[in-house]
Structure formats: C-alpha cells, structure tokens
Amino acid sequence: MNCIPFLPLKSYTLMSQHLKSFYKVSFRLSTSLSLVHNQHGNSKLQLLPVPTTIQKTQIRSKYLRRTPIDVIENTKGGQYMENWAEEQLLQTGQLYNDETELPTEKDDRDTLADEEEVTKPKKKKKRDKKTKKALKEEEKSQNWEEMKKKDLVFKELNVQLYHKALPKVRTYLEEGKSAYVREELDFFYVEGWRLVGEALNKGLKPLAIFFSRSRLFYNLIPSVAKTDKELASMLNLYPLYKTPYTVFKLWSSLKTPPGIIGVFQLSEAERVSTPTKLKSELSFPLTVILDEVRDPSNLGGIYRTLVAAGVEQIILMKGCCDIWDPKVFRATAGTQLNMNCLTKVPWKLLESHIPPTPNVFLADSYCTRDFIEAQDEELVNIEPANEEETLALKKEGLAVSEKSTVIETTEDGNELEVNYSHDDEYHLQMFKNIEFPKVSYEDADFFTESLKLDGQNTILIIGGEKGLSNNAKKFALESNAVQVGVPLLNDVESLNSSVATGILVYAAQKQYKDIKRKQKAQDIGINT
C-alpha cells in the first residue's frame, strides 16, 4: 500500500482546507490522518488511504474536535490534547487504521455520520390557547364528577363553592393577613390539615374550612369516626367551602399552599387555652418578657420553647409580632392552644402583671465577647465601666418613676399601677447607652439556694432583633437587673433569639430543680 509523502504541518493546512471544501465526503471515507515519527525524531502528519468499505457510523464525534499527538500501532484510542488552534484543522474527523472495530451508533451515542444526516428531535406542536382552556375545563369537570360518583363520603357533605360564599366568608381569606382585620372580626386562621386538626381536637368550632381537594380534610378526625357515614355527619357540622387552588396561591401566607385553611374564633381560642399563669408541678416560677420580637419565625420558636420548658408566665410587650399570625402559629405548631399569654402589654402597666421584688435578668439577641475574656481571667461577673454614672442614672430614674406612678381603677373594678414615665421619650433617651453587669449563664443565680423557692420569682427579658428597647433598660436598671448571655467562640457575633432563649431557660430550669431537690432532701433529713 503506497503512502503519500511526508508534508510539513503548514503545507498540510492548505491541503486540508482544499480537500475539505471540494472533497468533503470522499476525504472522510478514503483517507486517514496519522502522526508518524521519522528517523530524525521529527513529527509530521501523514495521509493514509483507507478502504472505502468503512461505514460512516465508524466516525465518532468525540474524535472530531481533538488533536492527536501520538498514535501507537495495535492500540485503540491513543492520547489526545485539547488544543483549539489545531482543532480547527481536524473538523472533518479522525479515523485510525488500527481501530478496526468501533461501536455502532446504537451502542455509542457519540457516533456521528455526515453532518447532513444527523437527525434533530421533532418539535412538539403548540396547542392553541382555546384548546388548552377547553381541555382544562373538561379535566376539572371530569374530576369533579368522578369525585362525586366514586366518593361516598362526598355525596353526604354539604359543600359550598367559594365564589358563591358570602362576602364575609371570603373576607377570611382575602383580608386574613391583616392583624387589624383579624382583631376586628375576632378570628384567626391556620394552614395545613395537621394544624387544623390540632385546633379541632382542642374543641374549637371552625367558622369556615376552605379546601381544594376532598381528601385533605378527611384526615382531620380519623380516630373519632369509624365509618364514612359517621365521618360525613361530623364534617357536616363544619361550614365547608370548595376553593380553587389558584385562590390559595393568591391569599395564602406560604409560597406553596397546602390546600386547606381553617378559620376559628379568636376569643374562643383564648378561652380554651389554659390560664395565663401555668400552675403545675412541672412548671417553675419564671416569667419571660418578650421585648419587640417582630420576626414571626423567631417569636414562634421562642414561644414553643417556653411552653415546652414549663415557664409560669409569658408576656408579650407592645411592639411584638401578633401571636395569632399564621406564620407564628405554624412555627409554634399550635402551642398557643396549650398555654395562653398576655399580649400587647404597655411598659407603663407591666408592674401590675408581675410578682413583687423579682430577680430580673436581661438577654439580647446577641451576647458580647466579654464573657470569653472573663473566662480567660477567671472572672465571674463583669461590672460596667461607668458604674458611678449608672448609679446616678438609677437614682434619677427611680425618682421620676415614683413621681409618675399612679393607681388607676378599671371598669371591672381592678386597680392597676401605671408608671407614666415610660411614655416620656425624652426621659427614655437617658437609658439608651446604659450598661449592666454581665454574667455567663453557667454562673448566673436565677434562684437563690439559701432562700425557699416558694417565695422566689425570676423575670427574664428577651430582646428582639434590634436589641433591648429603652423601656426595657429603664425597667431593668430600676430592678437591679443583670445581663446574662452565652459565650461565643470562633468569631461568631450573635445567636438567634430562639436558640439563646432555649439555652437560658433550660439552664434556669435545671438550677431550679437542683435547688428544689436539695431543699427537699434537707427537709427529710438527708445530707446531700
């Protein structure tokens, strides 16, 4: 077999362009490019004739845009190098004469024949808008009819359509995000069949239940009804409204609505939940005051933690997020129904809702790194730098509070202690940069071991996303408060409010249980 003489690379460039333009197909089928070493060690390209019986499917596309740097006889493949400058010369493909068996087009998806023979995927025909709408309407009508025929329970239900409901009923969805509307109309709503079922199990009667699929509300009371007829009779007690899913997307507080919303009366929920002060053997005398916690997820996480820990009282000051907000209810998993709280309490009325002479502790959403330095220096407490100014400000604040405090009688005949100094903005600015003694939560004395626990009361004030307000600082300074926090390492600047609250509350709970156990053992006469 005769070979074409060696050619320099530049000469082959002109020749390949000429062959590519005039003999594209024949060049692919009848020639092969190979890099051969001559006697002097110089590499030159060589065109080798190839039998014309080779099929087009043997030219593989993964070889098309690669430059061969070496080809060894009786070896498949060879070594390759990505080189854009030389790739342009080999657009027509590369076939090795020693590679006699190549995968077929079915086995190798990279196999490529002539560019003209490459089949493109067929485009789907676009349907007209009228056709799409007609098909959707048919599917909806068919699904609705099939649900009526197949579902025996659905036949027994008195279901109304959303667009035929009264305007007041539609207001529950359309205006439910507004706290003002919820308070005026005395309702709140929850999303998801689990939360709706939680409210129903507490004995709340729904004002309305909106659903997109019938099976969503069948799981609300699965343990009560044994048969479908019993289930249908119980569900008929509730006002049910079949609502399109597009309505849920429009008015839901979630990006992906669950497709079911229950609306309940707010005053009834507050009545069903336990009293404000939780008195039980598992609770401990800790009152938690939330100051300007405005993020729903933070408030929900904090509230859920406090109820689980068994604190005695929860107070939400004016400026906090609405506890009955749908996002808060979802974050708390319905724990508002297990324990009620005081909401929208102004600072001037706080002293009427807390026990006398409590131990007060402060906690921000962030804790300073001073605790780490204190641990290194083996210090327990960190006193403020401007202690004299703090004492002077404390005396002035107490004097103003004493003059501004009056006793008022409500319509119910109850007497309230009102401190009007908390409404004086000029007076509150004095407490903006106040500093408090700092202590780590591990060294904080939430309860005093030398005194009986029955007469001790502790207050923990949790600051919001922007820190403690001036009202909180004024109250804390007049109550000899201590700032308690969690030491932070690895350059972490702050903790989430719910995380910090959980650490502090459970530390106080552990301290209370340890002291209670010791005092109980001493009463019995056992030395610990």
Domain residue extents for the chain: 9-116, 148-272, 284-524
Higher-pLDDT residue of 97 and 245 is 245
Q: Among 207-211, 348-352, 490-494, 511-515, whose mean pLDDT is lowest? A: 490-494
Look at residue 489 in the predicted model and tell me its pLDDT: 80
Which residue in 264, 158, 261 sits closest to 216, CA to CA?
261
The pLDDT tens digits of the residues spanning 425-444 come to 888 888 888 888 888 888 88
DSSP designation for 55: -
CATH architecture of 284-524: 3-Layer(aba) Sandwich (3.40)
Q: pTM (2 decimals)? A: 0.66
Look at residue 226 in the predicted model and tell me its pLDDT: 59
Task: Please list the helix, strand and coil fractions of the chain in percent, rounded to the nearest 5, in that order.
Answer: 40, 20, 40
Residue 275 has pLDDT above 90, yes or no: no
Look at residue 130 in the predicted model and tell me its pLDDT: 54
| Bridge partner residues of 484 (DSSP) | 439
Which residue in 1, 109, 266 sits closest to 34, CA to CA?
1
Residue 131 has pLDDT above 80, yes or no: no
- 253, 318 in Cβ contact below 8 A? no
How far apart, in Å, do the first and last CA atoms of the chain sit?
105
The pLDDT tens digits of the residues spanning 195-250 come to 988 888 888 889 999 988 877 766 665 555 556 667 677 777 888 898 898 889 88
Among 23-32, 81-90, 116-125, 460-469, top mean pLDDT goes to 460-469
CA distance 460 to 285: 11
CA distances for 394 relative to 33, 412, 439, 458, 476, angstroms = 94, 35, 20, 21, 10
Look at residue 70 in the predicted model and tell me its pLDDT: 41
- Cα angle 129, 134, 137 (rounded to 5 degrees) comes to 125
DSSP E strand stretches across 446-497: 458-463, 482-485
Look at residue 143 in the predicted model and tell me its pLDDT: 56
Residue 274 has pLDDT above 70, yes or no: no
Q: Please, what is the average pLDDT of the chain?
A: 71
Residue 77 has pLDDT above 60, yes or no: no
Mean per-residue pLDDT for 312-328?
A: 91
Look at residue 141 in the predicted model and tell me its pLDDT: 57
CA distances for 522 relative to 283, 455, 525, angstroms = 22, 18, 5
Mean per-residue pLDDT for 128-152?
A: 56
Mean per-residue pLDDT for 385-411?
A: 72
Look at residue 119 in the predicted model and tell me its pLDDT: 44
CATH fold label, 148-272: 60s Ribosomal Protein L30; Chain: A; (3.30.1330)
Please check whether the two domains, 148-272 and 284-524, share a CATH topology. Answer: no
Higher-pLDDT residue of 395 and 511 is 511
Contacts of 129 (CB under 8 A, 6+ apart): none
Residue 118 has pLDDT above 60, yes or no: no
Q: Burial, 361: exposed, middle or buried (Cβ in 10 Å; 0-12, 13-18, 19+)?
A: buried
